[in-house]
A and B are shown apart, each in its own frame.
Chain A
Amino acid sequence: MDQVLQSMQKNWPVLLLLVALAIGAAAPLAFGLSAPGFYVEVLLGGLMSGVMYSLVALGFVLIFKASGVFNFAQGAMVLFAALAVARIAEVVPLPVAFVATIFIMAVLAWVIERLVLRHLVNQDAVVLLMATLGVTYFLDGFGQTIWGSDIYKIETGLPKTPVMILESVFEGGILVNTEDLVAAAIAALLVLALALFFQKTPTGRALRAVADDHQAAQSIGIPLNRIWVIVWTVAGFVALVAGVIWGSKLGVQFSLSLIALKALPVVILGGFTSVPGAILGGLIIGVGEKFAEVFLGPIAVKQFDLAGGGIENWFAYVLALLFLLVRPEGLFGEKHIDRV
């Protein structure tokens, strides 16, 4: 009990922030701003985009954990993978295109390790960040060079028509997309599979070992280079899943690569080294920005006579900034204490 109190005393700014978030989330219902059915609809919509943010953030976290590299190219990888699937699927069935793209992402991982990472090991974080920025722009452009720059479709064959559910519980029922539900389920499965892979297999153990201490991992015979290729391949696979899901929803186009910018506040909120953090962070930001847009927007219009739009665009960043102020390592991140 004492311990709980003590940690509460130490962490009160974080707690305050979390409580504020919780109140903000409950307020629309409590003050009767929205019908319960509509509230749940917005919540679901937020959770679904949150899951997608989580997927991209997961790619960040995987690579950061294993190599200390902040991979700015994660968003470009999403676009690249989605483009590859979309164009290959024009000539072969979608599952074949999907598998082919897994191979493409693996080759890409190998090339990045061989040509870039291997030579920059132990350089400053800034150097590595610049290198991944280079990779980002290369991938953005190179993807267009190979696959073209139009908007392409990925046909998953799932029904896009919205359906009404829970009509008996809420007045008017809840409108959801079957495709969205399937996408969320797939994303959840992927996260679960990754967690098991990391915890239960020897390769996962080796990955965690490298993430923990490079030098020690090498001395017991874990080959860093191979581990990096594996991690980048897994991150490529995560990017592929994210790309297919978003691509089938919005069409494969350049704006997909910008999703990386949305995942940035997610990792700040969840912590750069935490897989659960990436997931929870994605959900909080997904739901938070939807709520802010839908419920705060009208208030801004009615009470203050503002235009009221665009809250969805900045909400995530303001939240991330607040977290940087009160808890720079994120909700689940490791606290770094450097020797000076």
Chain B
Amino acid sequence: MTRGSLGDVILKIDDVWLSFGGVKAIQGVSFDVREHEIRAIIGPNGAGKSSMLNVINGVYHPQQGRITFRGKVRSSMDPHDAAAQGFGRTFQSLALFKGMSVLDNIMTGRNLRMRTGILSQAVHLGFARREELRHREFVEHIIDFLEIQAYRKTPVGRLPYGLQKRVDLARALAMEPKILLLDEPMAGMNLEEKQDMSRFVLDVNEEFGTTIVLIEHDMGVVMDISDRVVVLDYGRKIGDGTPDEVRSNEQVIAAYLGVAH
């Protein structure tokens, strides 16, 4: 698939409203995500980006609105259901299992695909072992892909920040998600790490064909790698389109740079 030609709509957000008490985090936002695309949600601080991601991920339940995934209207779900349906995600403030090795962290991503029961695992039966090996193979592929071979056995807590972010991505990829949600993948990174991460996001999109929804505070990087961009401000959508369209949108410019009053 060449970049630029987009697939069918896989996820559709319709008029979603979300508030916490009196605070209106998301106010009537609608947009769609097409298969195989990289879709960015950007906006200044407090625009409702994280809330949006958490709605898609099932952490928050919108008071109003409809979410359609692969042609089916989604009922209210928790993050575990979302994961089972094919939503993988990474976290802005890393949520890795710090005491566990890189390999173990990524292997947990295969949890949903493990079929053997707890008892056969406990006695280490042949098929339980074969299953483990099969998943291990897949995980090794991801480890190679993200170039973290050297850190397989290292406890994640000891890795530098940029590498931890990569392990987070690897764990989400191990789930073979239909949609990969990236929560500020470049936050807190230096320029070099940002470039690495951009390359990995693009490679994942190309190699695995994964649909990616990413939210980002930093406009620059996002514009380079996204197919389409949604811009939020104070919980409302103020722009939607290709990076070029968004860049020339006056409301967007005002939101980011401020306008003279």
Contact = CB atoms under 8 A, between A and B. Distances in A.
A208 B111 CA distance: 12
Given A197-B122, A208-B97, A212-B100, A218 B108 contact: no
A220 B132 contact: no
Contact of A213 (B78, B82, B89, B96): B96
Contacts of B97: 208-209, 212-213, 216-217
A218 B79 contact: yes
B118 interface: yes
Interface string A207-247: 01100110111111111100000100000000000000000
Contacts of B82: 219
A308 to B, nearest CB: 45
B235 to A, nearest CB: 23
Interface string B75-108: 0001110111000110100011111100011011
A167 B118 CA distance: 47
Contacts of A222: 80, 108, 111
A93 interface: no
Interface stretch (A6-14, A72-80, A198-206): A198-206
A182 B167 CA distance: 45
A220 B121 contact: no
A208 B175 contact: no
Contact of A220 (B98, B99, B108, B124): B108
Interface in A283-315: none
- Chain B interface size, under 10 / 10 to 19 / 20 to 34 / 35 or more: 35 or more
A217 B78 contact: no
Contacts of B88: 219-220
Contacts of A224: 80
Nearest to A222: B111
* Max count, chain B CB within 10 A of own CB: residue among A204, A209, A219: A219
Given A212-B98, A219-B79, A206 B111 contact: yes
B1 to A, nearest CB: 27
B192 to A, nearest CB: 26
B84 A221 contact: yes
A206 to B, nearest CB: 5
Interface of A: 197, 200-206, 208-209, 212-213, 215-224, 230, 334
15 contacts: A197-B122, A200-B124, A205-B107, A206-B111, A208-B97, A208-B99, A213-B96, A215-B95, A216-B96, A218-B83, A219-B83, A220-B88, A220-B109, A221-B175, A222-B108
